[in-house]
């Protein structure tokens, strides 16, 4: 079987973008909205007992706050198809990777599907099993190509989302000293897997500002960090706590 025929056999795994970059689009829209009006002076917003949902937009007029919330809600709605597409591609790559790592003699039968829960992959799986038996090296080459393309797409999406979130939290009021102490305590209590994301948020923020990374990102001085980073960390910790409550 030729390489061209093999690639045409799996059209659902093509790496081209099928729709607009919603995160990039709404990031631009948020930037334009926030640049249209000066923020309200800090002293008009000193209530530190508001919920996390009320903190966003605290530095904006009521009208700008309503427009910001409308943009964010629309962003979530419009991004669902793109997220679903990315999930489908990840599932496809998982299937291809599983098959490419199996020896032809040990490939599953039709009754032993690699991903039996999702019938949408059945046709692709059958084709890949056939190809794996005839040309396993070609399957590995296709997997490598699509893996690289998918990783690049995921990285691009993550960068756009990071910028969008940074723009959103610029509307938050200054974090109080008590909140900073609580944040530092909460970060120390996070599981190891979540600490990796904390390090990622800090690293991305430092890179965006052109700042040198500290030797240990988990001992940063909360009093010296800017408001954007503090609230980004706050909302991540809050999301982790909410997820743990739902799972319990």
DSSP 41: P
Other residues' Cβ atoms within 10 Å of the Cβ of residue 109:
7
Crossing angle of the two packed helices 122-134 and 62-100, in degrees rounded to 10 = 40
Q: Tokens at residue 183, please?
A: 């944040």
Residue matched to tokens 């993550």: 158
Radius of gyration of the chain from its Cα atoms, rounded to whole angstroms? 23
| Residues in Cβ contact with 66 at an 8 Å cutoff, skipping those fewer than 6 apart | none
Other residues' Cβ atoms within 10 Å of the Cβ of residue 7:
16
> What is the per-residue pLDDT across 71-113, written as a single tens digit (0 to 9) for each?
999 999 998 888 888 888 788 777 777 766 655 444 444 434 4
- Mean pLDDT comparison of 40-44, 83-87, 159-163, highest-scoring range: 159-163
> What is the per-residue pLDDT across 167-192, written as a single tens digit (0 to 9) for each?
999 999 999 999 999 999 999 999 98
What's the predicted TM-score (pTM) here?
Answer: 0.68
Q: How far apart are CA 180 and CA 248, in angstroms?
A: 27
CA 222 vs CA 33, 44, 181: distances in Å: 29, 23, 8
| Residues in Cβ contact with 134 at an 8 Å cutoff, skipping those fewer than 6 apart | 1
| Residues in Cβ contact with 223 at an 8 Å cutoff, skipping those fewer than 6 apart | 177, 180
């Amino acid at each position: 079987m030729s390489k061209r025929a093999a690639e045409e056999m799996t059209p659902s795994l093509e790496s081209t973008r099928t729709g607009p970059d919603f995160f990039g689009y709404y990031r631009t829209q948020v930037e334009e909205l926030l640049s249209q009006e000066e923020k309200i002076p800090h002293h008009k917003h000193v209530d530190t007992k508001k919920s996390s949902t009320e903190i966003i937009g605290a530095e904006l007029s009521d009208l700008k706050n309503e427009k910001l919330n409308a943009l964010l809600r629309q962003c979530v709605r419009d991004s669902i198809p793109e997220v679903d597409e990315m999930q489908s591609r990840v599932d496809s790559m998982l299937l291809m990777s599983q098959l490419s790592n199996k020896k032809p003699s040990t490939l599953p039968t039709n009754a032993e599907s690699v991903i039996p829960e999702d019938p949408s992959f059945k046709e692709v799986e059958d084709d890949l099993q056939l190809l794996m038996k005839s040309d396993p090296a070609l399957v590995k080459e296709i997997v490598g190509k699509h893996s690289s393309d998918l990783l690049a797409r995921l990285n691009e999406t993550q960068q756009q989302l990071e910028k969008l979130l940074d723009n959103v939290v610029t509307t938050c009021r200054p974090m109080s000293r008590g909140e900073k102490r609580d944040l530092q305590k909460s970060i120390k209590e996070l599981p190891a897997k979540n600490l990796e994301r904390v390090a990622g948020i800090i690293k991305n923020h430092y890179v965006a500002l052109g700042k040198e990374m500290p030797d240990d990102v988990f001992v940063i001085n909360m009093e010296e960090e800017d408001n954007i980073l503090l609230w980004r960390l706050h909302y991540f910790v809050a999301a982790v706590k909410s997820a743990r409550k739902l799972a319990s």
